Structure 1
């Protein structure tokens, strides 16, 4: 090769390296484990996954000082961990379930040292009470789990060119007024709905903000009929985090088309909401058979500069209750699904996307079209359900809160706020067909629960008028008709006829199930009725009449789903659960030979083995027309 060509060739090879050269700050951040990537797609640009090395240290007394933990410069006594992390994974003791206090610490450099940039730290889920410190200074608090929260890192505390230390105090001890609540059994054993894993249970992001930030982004579809033209209502609030006024132009997308939302001269620290309704002729509708998704991302620009983008996808579909039935795009649903928990033997609650994907694929293999959970799932689930045409019943963990606590006005307000935050967080997923305000509150709701239901439904519909709101209730014949359920669109029945005996033995005989369901229909003829739970524990082979055997579980599934099939007005039925999970110390679940604390109604074990009932349910689900005609 001539020397001139050789030099030209070498110069061309050098171009990509120069184009992708990183600043010293970016290199330092990457060395700390900060990667410009996410574990799910929807959200603002500028997110850096805070991976790499974290440290954890238990605080046995729960009274450790800030100086002893947040300002501790050494690593002595600290355990090197990765985040997400459940510190009590595999510890199924009473003390583990009751909860405790632990500290996490992460050293990091900012990916950019530019003074004009603001930075937030985003936690996808921490259980349960959180205090966040930056370089020894308290910068924010949060209470709750299963929903994300963000905390701004004040510029005065940031070291833009040096090492920053993020310290997170996590208190997993719960109260009877929390969601889900704690409590004690008559023998003094801690109780609750599922295992109380402590820690930073989902991933953490560092988020860059170049003066303008998107808040409360939504794109809501309106499809009057299956063959009608549709409309999309775009809504986004922007905030100026900068110290100077900014002229901002906001636009969105509808596939390849640009939608102008407006311009504003935004003062420092000020916010502005943009809303626009856009018609869509001959829309490609989202459905289980054709889950078409439109890209509807948002962009904020100032002059020629793109300040922030918000990636978003939307499916155009309608979900309504018509004459007491859930209708998707005008066709009736008769879905079959599974309940699920984020839990594993090796990671506890802090599972990864590979395990989430495995659950989804198991459900698809069984012929299921819906997932239900007791709390908002990790966003990865909803994005995959969107893509696959599966459905979701999304619930908040307002689970078995005793009436004497729900009587407190603050508790009711916090419960309604929990539902509102779940709606705001997950509003753009077409897979979500019901917002559920809770699970198994008192089966005889009085004025207290009635007030909560009314306020929760009103708040959810003020944020999202396109979806029905439901509640899962314990199925007992003695409950009768309840006027407190009037605001609800959907009633979910948790029925275990023939497994548990119930108060005064009223559900011991499974042959009374059909008559009971007919009585529910008579009570609520205009509401959609869904079986939100059914199931029987199984952990061994044995006689079909012996509770806890695989044979009993299979027979139970066949009988109950045959009853459901005889009720064409039912909108769906859910087996509780797909996979086993940890419940609480001493859990028996009606099984004479239990394996506490494992809930073993799942048709897949925690080691990934399918029980015989999986095949029975698969045959039933695949033989059911779940949408239409």
Structure 2
């Protein structure tokens, strides 16, 4: 799916701003054929939850409505008019002038609809009904329940099967764009790099809506110089003396695609892309043929007031903070991030592990690791959950959206699933096969392994290209006992290395909740001293293993969760506060990461 842009053949209209909003109490039917009886206003893009001081609204589970008016210039009505949502969390029904124009399920991917048949002269009314309900068929997974009050009112509830707040709403931009009736529908770019000769063959595939007499593809470098051209829907253009996209040293080319009829250019689209290679070989992760070391974070799209809504200022700040401390990467935990963030990472040279919203894939949570290893613990996750259809859908959408991004070097199929349970291999094998069949750039694939899925207990680690481990020795287990935690960390990494000597290993989560400003001469848990000692302990072990290729700590910044006695104003594992103030360990990590090169650290 192409990102909406304005070109000489396309227009782009922003529908962001303050919209009408209402919670649907389900006591009366809301008919989109008439204006909704809105009693509030909500900014878009943003979560609705933190834009109110009404707790009942903030924590609402169920349905809610957005509405606004828009106009389309008469001069554009002969064009193809498309309404596009960056996302709607988690399920959306879209109405234009009371008629349903679109439906989409899944809270983190874009969707769109052609509007021409629904438009009226002058003002048009856009209405969206959204659900934030989650259950055992959705991604993320939620535990759904409902009850009726004494007066007959239906109360819905979602108990999140994950540790972040279930923000909802129109989180990403809402836009109108136009194209000609015959248009460029999709572009796929798959560079093949010849590292020895410093060249690349850039394979470009173009899909069209309608028929063009000719499709022209021109490659342009960062100086605006044309470096190659070809004609056809399937082309390969050779680039000599290629500028490679490198971590923290981005270089982007532009593919200018033109659809031509009767000798005239009808439609134009320009797609930025980087040229680089990615490969897993001999227990190393290679970018452009060189062994890369991941330094960075698990993150969240989470800011004050905006919630999970797009906040481009924070995106820019976050990448600036990452670069300042020597980081080079992050994982889009635990869902696909905005297209705007992905494009920014391409431009800034930030390496991304791109993750689906497959989080909460477990029927029960048990920290008795020894029981799992003995096989004494039974788990019926893969009998209880029915998420395969949603999982396949989001993988198709994610690869279609992000396939051309140079920053994306690996797909993460899921986070912390019950990979220790019977049925895990049978569940994940088709998903890995699907992802590999969809990706034109043949990126490595992984899933993020939960702590209970040890080398003895895990049922499906053979599927992954990289062993991505979430481990909390010294926090959730061995809390306060870093000596034992270090021994456990070392022992498990040794065991993984022996089980899969051909696979690189990295940590995709490790961390300790830390209250900013809490200091302890004894290094007590929750103190800034303990957080730093915790990271120092892990660093010592990481450096002992030549096949250990990266450290992405948990978390970049404190983030919001549901209320609970373990979560005072959210999860405090950030090395920055939610407002991006540094905790003490930032200086230690800056010193460490600045001394670790992007390539060749484990010689």
Q: TM-score by structure 2 length?
A: 0.86
Residue of structure 1 aligned with 2:338, choices 344, 366, 378: 378
Alignment-derived partner of residue 32 in structure 1: none
Alignment-derived partner of residue 42 in structure 2: 81
Alignment-derived partner of residue 299 in structure 2: 340
C-alpha contact 1:476 1:507 (8 A) present in aligned 2: no
Change (3 A) 1:342 1:497: same
Shift in Å, 1:322: 0.5
Alignment-derived partner of residue 564 in structure 1: 542
2:493 is paired with a residue whose SS is helix
Q: 1:431 aligned to 2:407? A: yes
Shift in Å, 1:93: 5.9
Q: 1:400 aligned to 2:360? A: yes
**CA distance in structure 1 between the aligned counterparts of 2:325 and 2:5, rounded to whole angstroms:** 25
Q: Spell out, residue by residue over 1:528-549, the C-alpha distance to the aligned partner (whole angstroms, 9 max, x if none).
A: 2111011100002224431111
**CA distance in structure 2 between the aligned counterparts of 1:144 and 1:493, rounded to whole angstroms:** 26
Give matches, 1:89-128, under 5 Å: 89=50, 96-97=58-59, 99-128=61-90
Alignment-derived partner of residue 152 in structure 2: none
Residue of structure 1 aligned with 2:117, choices 153, 156, 174: 156
Q: 1:190 aligned to 2:152? A: no
Change (3 A) 1:544 1:214: farther
Give matches, 1:104-503, under 5 Å: 104-153=66-115, 155-159=116-120, 161-183=121-143, 190-193=159-162, 194-225=164-195, 227-240=197-210, 246-255=211-220, 256-257=226-227, 259-262=229-232, 274-288=233-247, 290-373=249-332, 374-402=334-362, 404=380, 406-407=382-383, 411-446=387-422, 448-464=423-439, 465-476=441-452, 478-480=454-456, 482=458, 484-501=460-477
Alignment-derived partner of residue 368 in structure 2: none
Change (3 A) 1:569 1:466: same
Q: 1:611 aligned to 2:583? A: yes
**CA distance in structure 1 between the aligned counterparts of 2:159 and 2:303, rounded to whole angstroms:** 21
Residue of structure 2 aligned with 1:72, choices 27, 34, 37: 34
**CA distance in structure 1 between the aligned counterparts of 2:189 and 2:8, rounded to whole angstroms:** 13
**CA distance in structure 1 between the aligned counterparts of 2:595 and 2:342, rounded to whole angstroms:** 25
2:468 is paired with a residue whose SS is strand
Greater shift in the superposed pair: 133-142 or 104-113: 104-113
Shift in Å, 1:480: 1.5
**CA distance in structure 1 between the aligned counterparts of 2:554 and 2:249, rounded to whole angstroms:** 27
**CA distance in structure 1 between the aligned counterparts of 2:185 and 2:427, rounded to whole angstroms:** 27
C-alpha contact 1:124 1:202 (8 A) present in aligned 2: yes
Change (3 A) 1:42 1:233: farther
Shift in Å, 1:565: 1.7
**CA distance in structure 2 between the aligned counterparts of 1:307 and 1:40, rounded to whole angstroms:** 16
Residue of structure 1 aligned with 2:496, choices 483, 504, 520: 520
Alignment-derived partner of residue 549 in structure 1: 527
Change (3 A) 1:405 1:127: farther
**CA distance in structure 2 between the aligned counterparts of 1:336 and 1:41, rounded to whole angstroms:** 36
C-alpha contact 1:318 1:466 (8 A) present in aligned 2: no
1:81 is paired with a residue whose SS is strand
2:600 is paired with a residue whose SS is coil
C-alpha contact 1:366 1:621 (8 A) present in aligned 2: yes
C-alpha contact 2:11 2:179 (8 A) present in aligned 1: yes
1:516 is paired with a residue whose SS is helix
Alignment-derived partner of residue 581 in structure 1: 559
C-alpha contact 1:543 1:549 (8 A) present in aligned 2: no
**CA distance in structure 2 between the aligned counterparts of 1:144 and 1:115, rounded to whole angstroms:** 30
1:131 is paired with a residue whose SS is strand
Greater shift in the superposed pair: 472-481 or 215-224: 472-481
Aligned length: 560
Change (3 A) 1:506 1:419: farther
Q: 1:532 aligned to 2:508? A: yes
C-alpha contact 2:413 2:446 (8 A) present in aligned 1: yes
Change (3 A) 1:390 1:227: farther
**CA distance in structure 1 between the aligned counterparts of 2:124 and 2:464, rounded to whole angstroms:** 49
Q: Spell out, residue by residue over 1:174-221, the C-alpha distance to the aligned partner (whole angstroms, 9 max, x if none).
A: 112211111279xx9823321111211111111212112333321111
Change (3 A) 1:189 1:283: closer
1:436 is paired with a residue whose SS is strand
**CA distance in structure 1 between the aligned counterparts of 2:561 and 2:574, rounded to whole angstroms:** 12
C-alpha contact 1:416 1:452 (8 A) present in aligned 2: no
Unaligned runs of 5+ in 2: 146-156, 221-225, 364-379
Q: Spell out, residue by residue over 1:63-115, the C-alpha distance to the aligned partner (whole angstroms, 9 max, x if none).
A: 65342xx23347x6432333113111167969845623211111011134444
Shift in Å, 1:417: 2.4
**CA distance in structure 2 between the aligned counterparts of 1:43 and 1:569, rounded to whole angstroms:** 50
Q: 1:595 aligned to 2:557? A: no
Change (3 A) 1:457 1:137: same
1:428 is paired with a residue whose SS is coil
Change (3 A) 1:247 1:309: closer
Shift in Å, 1:305: 4.1
Alignment-derived partner of residue 269 in structure 1: none
Change (3 A) 1:227 1:260: closer
Alignment-derived partner of residue 56 in structure 1: 21
**CA distance in structure 2 between the aligned counterparts of 1:541 and 1:555, rounded to whole angstroms:** 13
Change (3 A) 1:234 1:477: closer
Q: Spell out, residue by residue over 1:256-301, the C-alpha distance to the aligned partner (whole angstroms, 9 max, x if none).
A: 1463332xxxxxxxxxxx2222222231111125321111132222
2:49 is paired with a residue whose SS is coil
**CA distance in structure 1 between the aligned counterparts of 2:43 and 2:550, rounded to whole angstroms:** 40
**CA distance in structure 2 between the aligned counterparts of 1:441 and 1:173, rounded to whole angstroms:** 20
**CA distance in structure 1 between the aligned counterparts of 2:475 and 2:385, rounded to whole angstroms:** 36
Change (3 A) 1:506 1:559: closer
